[in-house]
Structure 1
């Protein structure tokens, strides 16, 4: 028998203790840093939890994280239908998530993926000696948040959430009074840190500002947690090269995807 229900706090806590966070960093963030804003729907087959779809509404699009527990017992169409009804989402709305290869194939088999998946690397910092000593960037002040949020959003940072700049340190580099590069974090606590939202104004790119920001942010993150990560599109080889030069190594390859809740 297939049942769907909201996960209890007890079940969420159990998942936190079971999950391989490096393999499922996005879902781990829903269980931890994003937990207050996340909602979890579990699929149960014969009373055994087989899959979870977690949802947050802070982004400009419906943002999900999918976690598969027993792949051979996942009934994705039923889970999608229940999720769409539970959150009252239009079946043609475009949603976003990040999937491993097996989960990508599962979503593709039901015609849910729209557009082309983008290969995405999770990188972990491994070599402290490769960080730069320069501390040119300054911490962004609260009265500058609106300016910086506009800077990030205008730069096309799709996964940025206002709550991140409110709870995590963000750094910026200025030319005169204007920001020309900014960066911060997605996750920031003692368990793990993930750097994100690094963007340089187009007319200042190629000058090493992103490298300076990434190095300085990594140093800040290392003071809080030994585990510091970042994500980058695999096709962005210049950025991958920069991150490797700062001591990062790719540990997981995933896919950023858009998907619909309309089954073929």
Structure 2
């Protein structure tokens, strides 16, 4: 017998500890720091959880994370249909997520993928000796949050939540009082920090600003939590090499996709 329901706090908490963060960082963030703004649609077969499709409503697009516990018993079509009915997005809404290769094949087999998937790397900081001794970037003050929002939006960055900018540490580099580079935390707790939205204005690239910025963010992250992560598109080899030069190593290679909650 197959059934679907929104997960309780107890069920969510039971999922958290077994998650391997190096491999499933996105889903872990939904279970922890993003839990209050997320809905977790669970599929049960004979009252045992087979898979979860989690929806996060804080971004500028419908964001999801998928986690499968029992692929053999999964009825993916039924899970998608129930999620569509429960979340009630606008017709033809384009959603986003990051998938491992097996889950990517699952989404593709049901005709859900739209657009061009992009390979995505999760990287973890491993070597503090490679960080720069830098204080080039300065902490963004509360009255500067709107400036950061405008700066990131003008740069095409869409993976930030305004509340993150208000609550979490965020650094900026300025010239003549204007932001030319910025970056901060997607989330953090005592276990981990994920850096995000590290962006430099095109006219100022190639000057090492991102390296200084990432070093400062990483040092702060290592002071607050045991592990520091970041994510980057594999095709952005300039950024990948920069992060490796600062002591980051790849822990997972997945695929960032756009999809719809109905077959194409």
- Is it true that 1:175 corresponds to 2:175 in the alignment? yes
RMSD: 0.9
* Secondary structure of the structure 2 residue equivalent to 1:86: helix
Taking structure 2 as the reference length, the TM-score comes to: 0.98
What pairs up with 1:187-198 in 2 under 5 angstroms?
A: 187-198=187-198
* Deviation sequence 1:43-81 (CA, Å, 0-9, x none): 001111000011111111111110110111111111111
- Give, in whole Å, the separation in 2 of the partners of 1:174 and 1:130: 24
- Give, in whole Å, the separation in 1 of the partners of 2:144 and 2:133: 26
Hey, what does 1:158 align to over in structure 2? 158
Q: Conserved in 2, the CA contact under 8 Å of 1:84 and 1:90?
A: no
Hey, what does 1:23 align to over in structure 2? 23
- Is it true that 1:66 corresponds to 2:66 in the alignment? yes
* Secondary structure of the structure 1 residue equivalent to 2:217: helix
Superposition deviation, residue 140 in structure 1? 0.3
Superposition deviation, residue 91 in structure 1? 4.7
Superposition deviation, residue 244 in structure 1? 0.5
Superposition deviation, residue 226 in structure 1? 2.1
Superposition deviation, residue 187 in structure 1? 1.4
Superposition deviation, residue 90 in structure 1? 3.6
What pairs up with 1:64-103 in 2 under 5 angstroms?
A: 64-103=64-103
Please list every run of at least 4 consecutive aligned residues from structure 1 whose deviation after the TM superposition is greater than 3 angstroms: none
Hey, what does 2:243 align to over in structure 1? 243
Structure 2 runs not aligned, ≥5 long: none
What pairs up with 1:27-42 in 2 under 5 angstroms?
A: 27-42=27-42
Superposition deviation, residue 115 in structure 1? 1.1
Taking structure 1 as the reference length, the TM-score comes to: 0.98
- Is it true that 1:109 corresponds to 2:109 in the alignment? yes
- Give, in whole Å, the separation in 2 of the partners of 1:93 and 1:6: 21
Superposition deviation, residue 154 in structure 1? 1.2
- Give, in whole Å, the separation in 1 of the partners of 2:74 and 2:186: 30
Structure 1 runs not aligned, ≥5 long: none
* Secondary structure of the structure 2 residue equivalent to 1:64: strand
Q: Conserved in 2, the CA contact under 8 Å of 1:84 and 1:91?
A: no
* Secondary structure of the structure 2 residue equivalent to 1:72: coil
- Give, in whole Å, the separation in 1 of the partners of 2:55 and 2:100: 18
Q: Conserved in 2, the CA contact under 8 Å of 1:95 and 1:260?
A: yes
Superposition deviation, residue 204 in structure 1? 0.6
Superposition deviation, residue 28 in structure 1? 0.5
* Deviation sequence 1:80-133 (CA, Å, 0-9, x none): 111111111245210000100000000000010001110000000011000000
- Give, in whole Å, the separation in 1 of the partners of 2:53 and 2:85: 13
Greater mean alpha carbon deviation, residues 129-138 or residues 81-90: 81-90
Q: Conserved in 2, the CA contact under 8 Å of 1:123 and 1:248?
A: yes
Would you say how many aligned residue pairs link Structure 1 and Structure 2?
Answer: 264
- Give, in whole Å, the separation in 2 of the partners of 1:141 and 1:153: 18
* Secondary structure of the structure 1 residue equivalent to 2:148: helix
